[in-house]
């Protein structure tokens, strides 16, 4: 056996084993996030003080300065802070500072509003739960307003 190739071969084997181990670690991590959510009951959000925005999803945050319900902006931040803490922080991080496993919601831009409401209503197959049954859009836009208030 050529002594110079032996270390290279076992290094490859080592790298491969490490890669498998970290893949396993990742999927276990994802599973515990999912299980964690299973244990967490979605928290109702008291939207008192905010207008009822109805069923048909708006495509823009109505509480953002300059928009239709801008005068309720500060109430929306307060309502959204509670809604975020009770429903989103477990996965997306305290004050929307992501730990890296989920998207950092502070990075969404104004023109992502439509994307935001669709994600929260419908969820995705990769770990984002649907909140259609538990949050109305008044609560969801309040949460968005809160996220904007803690975004750089
Ligand atoms: C069980 C964990 C979990 C909870 C709870 C959760 N999310 Fe998510 N969310 C995820 C994961 C995982 C993704 C990435 C999904 C994907 O890429 O398909 C995601 C993606 C998103 C996205 C898309 C972001 C992007 O940059 O693509 C938005 C918006 C979002 N979540 C908002 C929320 C809001 C608002 C709440 C609370 C009402 C919430 N999420 C609660 C796990 C969660």
CATH number at residue 102: 1.10.760.10
Atom of ligand 1 nearest to the CA of 101: 12
Average pLDDT over residues 117-134: 95
**In a shared domain, residues 49 and 35:** no
Same domain, 136 and 91: yes
Same domain, 62 and 105: yes
Residues 6+ apart with CB under 8 A from 98: 92, 104, 105, 106
Using one digit for the tens of pLDDT, what is the confidence trace for 8-42? 444 444 444 444 444 434 444 444 444 444 456 78
Q: In angstroms, rounded to a whole number, what is the distance separating the alpha carbons of residues 88 and 104?
A: 11
The answer on 60 and 35 residing in a single domain is: no
Range(s) of the domain holding residue 84: 42-149
CB neighbour list of residue 59: distance below 8 Å, 6 or more residues apart: 113, 114, 117
- 4 with 69, same domain: the answer is no
Do residue 56 and residue 32 come from a single domain? Answer: no
The model carries a pTM of 0.80
Domain count, the chain: 2
Q: Whose CA is nearest to atom 6 of ligand 1?
A: 88
Cβ atoms of 105 and 92 closer than 8 Å: yes
């Amino acid at each position: 056996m050529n002594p110079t190739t032996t270390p290279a071969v076992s290094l490859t084997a080592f790298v491969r084993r490490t890669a498998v181990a970290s893949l396993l670690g990742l999927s276990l991590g994802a599973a515990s996030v999912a299980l964690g959510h299973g244990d967490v009951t979605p928290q109702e959000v008291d939207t008192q003080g905010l207008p009822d925005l109805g069923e048909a999803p708006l495509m823009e945050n109505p509480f953002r300065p300059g928009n239709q319900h801008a005068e309720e902006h500060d109430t929306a931040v307060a309502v959204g802070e509670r809604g975020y803490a009770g429903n989103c922080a477990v996965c997306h991080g305290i004050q929307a500072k992501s730990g890296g496993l989920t998207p950092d919601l502070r990075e969404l831009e104004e023109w992502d509003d439509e994307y935001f409401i669709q994600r929260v209503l419908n969820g995705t197959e990769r770990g984002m739960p649907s909140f259609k049954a538990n949050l109305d859009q008044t609560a969801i836009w309040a949460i968005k307003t809160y996220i904007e208030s803690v975004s750089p």
